[in-house]
C-alpha cells in the first residue's frame, strides 16, 4: 500500500511539473491498473488483459507515472505466474511493440531522438518480462532439484525396504532349512515314543530326539552367530557353512531318523574329484538335499530315498522318494520348504522342479556355474 501511495504521489508530481493538468480522468486507468495488480498472481491472463487498455488510456490522457510503474509489475507477474504460453506471448509482443514503436516514431518524426521511444517501450515491457522469465527459470530449476531430491529419497527408501525384505526372506529360508529337519525328526519320534509300550523302543526314540535337539541347537547357535554384530574378542565365532562334503553325515542322520518309518537312504555322488562348486552354489545344493530328506521323513511311504549329485557346471541334484501311505506318525508340513528350495535356485539363476512321477516323488535342481576347478 505504501508503494502504491508513493507511486500515485510521484505520478501526480510528474503531471503537475510537466505543465499538464492531470484531471480526474487519469484516475480511471489508475484504478483499473490497481484492479490488475490485485489479480497479478491468481488472475493471469485477465490481469494483463485489464492492464494493457488501462495503460493505453493513461498514455492518451496524459500518463501517470504510478500507472506505468504498476503496468511493469503486471507484465513481470504475467511471465512469472502465468502459463508458459502467456510468457512466450508477452515476450514476443514486447519485441514487436518495441520494433513497431521505433519504426513508427522514426517514420513520423525522422529524427534520431525517436529511437528513445523504443528504449522507453522496452523498459516498460521487455525489461520486466525478461526479469520475470529469468526468475521463473530459477524457480522451475529449484522445483526440479527439489523433486529430484524427493524422488532420490523415495528410491533410497524403497531400496532399503527391498533389501530388508530380501534379507528377511533369506533368514527365513536358512532358519527353516537348518531347524525343520531336526524338529520334524523330534516330532515324529516323540509321537512314536508316546504310542509305544516297549521301554527299549521308547528309549531309542528318546535318544534320537536328544540327538536332533542337540544338533538343532548347534545350528541355531551358528545362525545366531552369523546374525550377531561383530563384538569383542569374546564374541563367539560362527562355524563354517555346511558343504557337500557333509552329505554322507546328513544321509546317515536321515537313516537314523527314518528307520522307524521304513525308509532307506542312499547317496550317489558323481562329481569330479578335483572340482568344487562355488560356496553359494554348494550351500544351496546342501540345503536342497537337507530339505528334500526332511520332506521324505514327513511324507514319504516306506522304501528307498535316493540322493544323486552330479556335475559341477551345472551342478544337478536329484532326490527321489516313494509315494504312498505308511504306518506311524507324520509331521505336519506347510509348503515353506518347497518355496525355499525354489527361491534358492532362482537366486542363483538355476531351475527347480518337484512333483510326482509315477509312484515316486522327484525333486530336481540344476544350479549353474561358479565352479572352482582343482589343479
Distance CA 249, CA 257 (A): 12
Instruction: For residue 155, give the C-alpha cell.
Output: 528410491
Half-sphere exposure (Cβ direction) of 129: Cα atoms closer than 13 Å: 21
Task: Identify the DSSP state of 25.
Answer: G
CA distance 116 to 105: 9
**DSSP helix/strand/coil, 315:** strand
pTM of the model: 0.49
CA distance 308 to 289: 9
Peptide bond just before 314 cis, omega within 30 deg: yes
Write the DSSP symbol of residue 230: P
Domains and CATH numbers, the chain: 2-143 (no CATH), 157-229+239-373 (3.30.565.10)
Tell which residue, 75, 84, 89, has the closest CA to residue 47. Answer: 75
pLDDT one-digit tens code per residue, 185-236: 777 667 766 666 777 767 777 777 777 777 777 777 777 776 665 444 444 4
Q: Is the pLDDT of residue 309 over 90?
A: yes
Model confidence pLDDT, tens digit, residues 142-197: 989 998 988 888 888 888 888 888 777 777 777 776 676 677 677 766 776 666 67
Residue identified by cell 541347537 is: 217
Contact 77, 51 (CB under 8 A): no
CA distance 293 to 254: 7
Q: Distances in Å between the alpha carbon of 209 and those of 33, 68, 219? A: 94, 97, 15
d(CA 351, CA 367): 7
Cβ neighbors of 246 (< 8 A, separation 6 or more) are 286
Amino acid at each position: 500500500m505504501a508503494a502504491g501511495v508513493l507511486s500515485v504521489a510521484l505520478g501526480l508530481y510528474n503531471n503537475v511539473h510537466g505543465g499538464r493538468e492531470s484531471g480526474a480522468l487519469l484516475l480511471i486507468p489508475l484504478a483499473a491498473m490497481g484492479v490488475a495488480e490485485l489479480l497479478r498472481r491468481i488472475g493471469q491472463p485477465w490481469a494483463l488483459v485489464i492492464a494493457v487498455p488501462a495503460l493505453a488510456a493513461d498514455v492518451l490522457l496524459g500518463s501517470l507515472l504510478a500507472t506505468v510503474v504498476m503496468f511493469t509489475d503486471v507484465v513481470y507477474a504475467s511471465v512469472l505466474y502465468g502459463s508458459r504460453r502467456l510468457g512466450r506471448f508477452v515476450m514476443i509482443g514486447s519485441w514487436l511493440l518495441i520494433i513497431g514503436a521505433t519504426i513508427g516514431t522514426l517514420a513520423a518524426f525522422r529524427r534520431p531522438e525517436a529511437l528513445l521511444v523504443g528504449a522507453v517501450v522496452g523498459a516498460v515491457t521487455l525489461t520486466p518480462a525478461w526479469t520475470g522469465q529469468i526468475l521463473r527459470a530459477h524457480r522451475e530449476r529449484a522445483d526440479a532439484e527439489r523433486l529430484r531430491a524427493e524422488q532420490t529419497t523415495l528410491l533410497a527408501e524403497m531400496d532399503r525396504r527391498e533389501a530388508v525384505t530380501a534379507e528377511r526372506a533369506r533368514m527365513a529360508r536358512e532358519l527353516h532349512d537348518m531347524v525343520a529337519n531336526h524338529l520334524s525328526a523330534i516330532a515324529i519320534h516323540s509321537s512314536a515314543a508316546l504310542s509305544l509300550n516297549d521301554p527299549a523302543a521308547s528309549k531309542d526314540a528318546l535318544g534320537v530326539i536328544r540327538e536332533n535337539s542337540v544338533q538343532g541347537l548347534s545350528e541355531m547357535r551358528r545362525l545366531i552367530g552369523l546374525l550377531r554384530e561383530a563384538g569383542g574378542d569374546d564374541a563367539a565365532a560362527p562355524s563354517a557353512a555346511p558343504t557337500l562334503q557333509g552329505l554322507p553325515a546328513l544321509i546317515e542322520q536321515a537313516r537314523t531318523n527314518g528307520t522307524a518309518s521304513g525308509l532307506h537312504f542312499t547317496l550317489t555322488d558323481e562329481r569330479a574329484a578335483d572340482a568344487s562348486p562355488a560356496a553359494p552354489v554348494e550351500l544351496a545344493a546342501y540345503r536342497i538335499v537337507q530339505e528334500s530328506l526332511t520332506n521324505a521323513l514327513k511324507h514319504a511311504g516306506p522304501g528307498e530315498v535316493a540322493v544323486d549329485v552330479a556335475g559341477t557346471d551345472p551342478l544337478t541334484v536329484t532326490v527321489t522318494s516313494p509315494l504312498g501311505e505308511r504306518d506311524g506318525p507324520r509331521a505336519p508340513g506347510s509348503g515353506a520348504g518347497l518355496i525355499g528350495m525354489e527361491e534358492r535356485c532362482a537366486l542363483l539363476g538355476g531351475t527347480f522342479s518337484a512333483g510326482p512321477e509315477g509312484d515316486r516323488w522327484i525333486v530336481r535342481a540344476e544350479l549353474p556355474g561358479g565352479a572352482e576347478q582343482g589343479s
